[in-house]
């Protein structure tokens, strides 16, 4: 009986996390995040800090990777401190996300292709100053490395963005 009860608790916990993940994915589809330079990355990468919002702090951390790739493609980020230069988004077409909606829905799905270009640099450890309660949500800052050269190359191959050598 004790084992059955423990199994019930475990399954309930996983179902609760899954529900929270679905809510976080819905929130992520609204793309509520901030992105800033976090330093100089290795050649071909950007090192960024992504501030993600979620009612569940753990979910905000997992969504940061998705938000980082989205930010590199569609927002870019300002330079300033830490020897960073401002970076424009990879796309210059402000409507490309809706024009290529099917591509981006599968690209950004949980465990989607975006994962190929991103890694968390903080190993899951978030500094206390990077975790804030804002209203009913958490605002979590996560440092992420994005392989921008590989991302650009694959988006060009998929016809999402033009290559740098294609001219104006």
Q: Per residue of the chain (168 residues), what is the pLDDT tens digit?
A: 555 544 555 455 555 545 555 555 555 557 899 999 998 888 999 999 999 998 887 888 779 999 999 999 999 998 767 678 889 999 999 899 999 999 999 999 988 999 999 987 766 677 788 888 888 888 999 999 999 999 999 999 999 998 876 555
pTM of the model: 0.79
> Residue written as tokens 């009860």?
5
Give every CB contact of residue 75 below 8 A, 6+ residues apart in sequence: 35, 89
Instruction: Give the whole-angstrom CA distance, residue 168 versus residue 55.
Output: 43
Instruction: Give the whole-angstrom CA distance, residue 4 versus residue 147.
Output: 46
**Angle in degrees, CA 135, 9, 62, rounded to 5:** 45
């Amino acid at each position: 009986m004790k084992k059955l009860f423990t199994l019930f608790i475990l399954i309930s916990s996983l179902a609760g996390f899954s529900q929270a993940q679905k809510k976080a994915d819905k929130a992520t589809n609204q793309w509520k995040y901030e992105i800033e330079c976090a330093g100089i990355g290795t050649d071909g990468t950007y090192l960024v800090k992504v501030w993600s919002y979620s009612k569940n702090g753990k979910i905000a951390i997992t969504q940061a990777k998705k938000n980082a790739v989205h930010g590199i493609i569609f927002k870019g980020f300002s330079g300033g401190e830490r020897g960073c230069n401002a970076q424009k988004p990879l796309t210059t077409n402000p409507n490309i996300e809706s024009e290529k909606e099917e591509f981006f829905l599968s690209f950004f799905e949980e465990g989607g292709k975006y994962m190929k270009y991103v890694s968390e640099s903080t190993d899951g450890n978030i500094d206390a100053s990077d975790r804030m309660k804002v209203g009913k949500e958490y605002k979590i800052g996560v440092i992420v490395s994005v392989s921008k050269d590989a991302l650009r190359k694959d988006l060009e191959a998929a016809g999402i963005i033009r290559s740098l050598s294609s001219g104006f």
